[in-house]
Amino acid sequence: MQNFDLFDQPGRKPGQETRKGSSVVPQTGRELRDHGAQMTLYAEHSAWQEHVLWAIGVYAGFGRKFTCDDLRNWIDDEPHAPSCWGAVFLEARRKGIIAKTGEYRQSSRPSSRARAIPLYTKA
């Protein structure tokens, strides 16, 4: 009797994208993260995105380390979904506006369940 791996796709190498219909389906964790971030920002109003990217640049220019919570408290402008914050911070990192410091701080938001969140600085 032959055993089959549910996740094995014959002929596919790890990290290789596959096609589903007419679109490319992400395969790696990083590809899935990036795709999810793109879809989240796609659903958000572009004016919010532009405003927050601008605010991230201004806040980073203050020259001190900060978290997403710090910025959220400073601008007080919420998107349609909380996941937009992570997506817009990822976009700011991609654009070279900010960089992670490698340090973490406990989130001050009750909805975050005291999880550790990264500190950022100007890139």
Give residue-wise pLDDT tens across range 18-70: 555 556 666 888 888 888 888 887 778 888 889 999 999 999 999 999 999 99
What are the extents of the domains in the chain? 40-122
Model confidence pLDDT, tens digit, residues 62-102: 999 999 999 999 998 888 888 889 999 999 999 999 999 99
Enter the pTM of the model.
0.72
Per-residue model confidence (pLDDT) at position 6: 46
Q: Which residue has the higher pLDDT, 14 or 116?
A: 116
pLDDT over 70 percentage in the chain: 79
Q: Which of 114, 117, 63, 71 is nearest to 92 (CA)?
A: 71
Per-residue model confidence (pLDDT) at position 111: 87
| 40-122 under CATH 1.10.10, yes or no | yes
How far, in Å, CA of 74 to CA of 6, rounded? Answer: 47
